[in-house]
A = this chain, B = another copy of it.
């Protein structure tokens, strides 16, 4: 029996589960770092019940996106310079490590798909919300990582990407940076086409460090 049910893992799910809704609002910058997440407020905001709110908060606390203070509540994690730096370092280690495999596995069809996703990102820069831009970026990078052939790694990177919750908002404020990201996406694809692993590694590193 094909009884495969997509539980609320870390996949990109539609805004059904409360956990994802809160997560999206944190990533979109609606719920700012330091904000206390009162259960009664979330209950009303997302039109859901108390237990659902509590489960969502517990899950986000496990993911270390919010902090739980016993008998006082949950609040959005404040950006931590050290942590952000360390997460970036981890991402650089992981994402540069599979550059070789990505280049080996990339077919012409893959490159075409990547171009499409990169262009979709460009489109969202002009006509899209912050969230749509974020998701387009995620889709591009996800497709790129899948070429690495390690699905666990794709999930892991997607997961630790969220650990610098405040990053997307605070770093993507300027249009210049977003357009820089856009250019780098295309340069990455060029590097894959050219089969230049070392150049791609440099691009990935730079891309992560700037956001």
Contacts and interface: CB of A to CB of B under 8 A. Distances in A.
Interface stretch (A84-92, A110-118, A135-143, A167-175): A84-92
Interface footprint category on A: 20 to 34
A208 to B, nearest CB: 14
Q: How many copies does the complex hold?
A: 2
Contact of A87 (B55, B94, B152): B152
A153 interface: yes
B59 A58 contact: yes
A97 B68 CA distance: 33
A67 B110 CA distance: 32
A83 B152 CA distance: 7
Interface stretch (A3-11, A31-39, A40-48, A177-185): A3-11
B93 A7 contact: no
A70 interface: yes
Nearest to A3: B69
